[in-house]
Chain A
Amino acid sequence: MAADTAVVASPEETLESLLREAEALKQKLEEERQKLNDVTLISVAERLEPLNIPNLKMRRTLKGHQAKVLCCDWAPDKRHLVSSSQDGKLIIWDAFSTAKEVTIPMPSTWVMACAYAPSGGAVAAGGLDNKVTVFPLGGDEEPASRKRTVATHTSYVSACLFPNSDRQLVTGSGDGTAALWDVESGQLLQSFQAHAADVLALDLAPTDLGDTFVSGGGDRAVLVWDMRSGHAVQAFDAHLSDVTAVKYHPAGDALASGCDDSACRLFDLRADREVARYGKPSLIFGVTSVEWSLSGRLLFAGYGDYTACAWDALRATRVSIMSGHEHRVSHLTLSPDGTAVATASWDTTLRVWA
Chain B
Amino acid sequence: MDMMVSTLQQQRAVTEQLRREASIKRIPVSVAVSDIVRFINEHEQEDCLLVGFSSQKVNPFREKSSCTVL
Name A residues whose Cβ lies closer than 8 Å to a Cβ of B.
3-4, 6-7, 13-15, 18-19, 21-22, 25-26, 28-29, 32-33, 36-41, 44-45, 48, 51, 53-54, 56, 59-60, 78-79, 95-96, 194, 231-235, 249-251, 253-254, 268, 270-273, 275, 293-298, 310, 313-314, 334, 337-341, 352, 354
Are the CB atoms of A18 and B12 closer together than 8 Å?
Answer: yes
Interface pair B15/A36, CB less than 8 Å apart:
no
Which residues from A are CB-within-8-Å of B52?
53-54
Q: Report yes or no: B48 in contact with A38, Cβ–Cβ below 8 A.
A: no
Per the bound structure, the CA–CA distance linking A28 and B23 in Å amounts to 10
Q: CB distance B49 to A272 under 8 Å?
A: no
Nearest CB in chain B to that of A41: its residue: B33
A14 to B8, CA, bound (A): 7
Are A4 and B5 also in contact (CB < 8 A) when A25-B15, A39-B30, A41-B33 are? yes
Once A231-B20, A352-B61 are accepted as A-B contacts, the answer to whether A293 and B47 lie under 8 Å apart by CB is yes
| Interface residue from B11, B48, B49, B61 paired with A22 (Cβ < 8 Å) | B11
Which residues B10-35 have CB closer than 8 A to chain A?
Answer: 11-15, 17-22, 24-35
The contact of A296 among B17, B26, B43, by CB within 8 Å, is: B43
User: Within 8 Å CB of A41, what residues of B?
Assistant: 29, 33, 36
Known: A13-B12, A59-B62, A297-B44. A271 touches B36 (CB 8 A): no
Structural contact, A44 and B37, CB atoms closer than 8 A: yes
- Separation of A32 and B26 alpha carbons in the complex (Å): 8
Closest residue of chain B to A3, judged by CB?
Answer: B5
Report yes or no: A297 in contact with B47, Cβ–Cβ below 8 A. Answer: yes
Taken together as a complex, chains A and B put the C-alpha atoms of A149 and B26 apart, in Å, by 41
Closest chain A CB from B50 CB (angstroms) = 5
Contact B21 A234 (CB under 8 A): yes
Interface residue range, chain B: 35 or more
Instruction: Determine the distance from Cα of A310 to Cα of B52 in the docked complex, in whole angstroms.
Output: 14
How many Å from the CB of A163 to the closest CB on chain B?
A: 22
Instruction: Say whether A295 contacts B50, CB under 8 Å.
Output: yes
Expressed in whole angstroms, the Cα–Cα distance for A91 and B52 within the complex equals 30
Assuming A37-B29, A39-B30, A295-B44, is B39 touching A340 (CB within 8 A)? no
Give the distance in Å from the alpha carbon of A78 to the alpha carbon of B33 in the complex: 31
Residue of A nearest to B45 (CB): A295
Instruction: List 14 additional A-B contacts (Cβ < 8 Å) besides A19-B15, A45-B37.
Output: A7-B5, A15-B4, A15-B8, A22-B14, A44-B33, A59-B63, A251-B40, A253-B36, A275-B32, A296-B43, A334-B49, A337-B48, A338-B47, A354-B59
How far, in angstroms, from A32 to B34 measured CA to CA in the complex?
Answer: 20
Contact residues in A for B34 (Cβ distance below 8 Å)? 44
Say yes or no: B21 contacts A251, CB within 8 Å. no
Q: Is the CB of A295 within 8 A of B47?
A: yes
Closest A residue to B7 by CB, please name it.
A15
Say how far A301's CB is from chain B's closest CB, in angstroms: 14
The chain A residue sitting closest to B11, CB to CB, is A18
Provide the residues of chain A in CB contact with B35, threshold 8 Å.
Answer: 251, 253
A338 in contact with B27 (CB, 8 Å): no
Q: Which of B31, B49, B61 contacts A298 (CB 8 A)?
A: B49
Complex contact A44–B30 (CB within 8 A): yes
In the assembled complex, the Cα of A45 lies from the Cα of B37 at a distance in Å of: 8
CB distance from A10 to the nearest CB of B (A): 8
Closest chain B residue to A54 by CB distance?
B52
Whether the pair A36, B17 counts as a contact (CB closer than 8 A) is no
* Chain B residue contacts of A253, Cβ below 8 A: 32, 35-36
Partner of B37, one of A232, A234, A314: A314
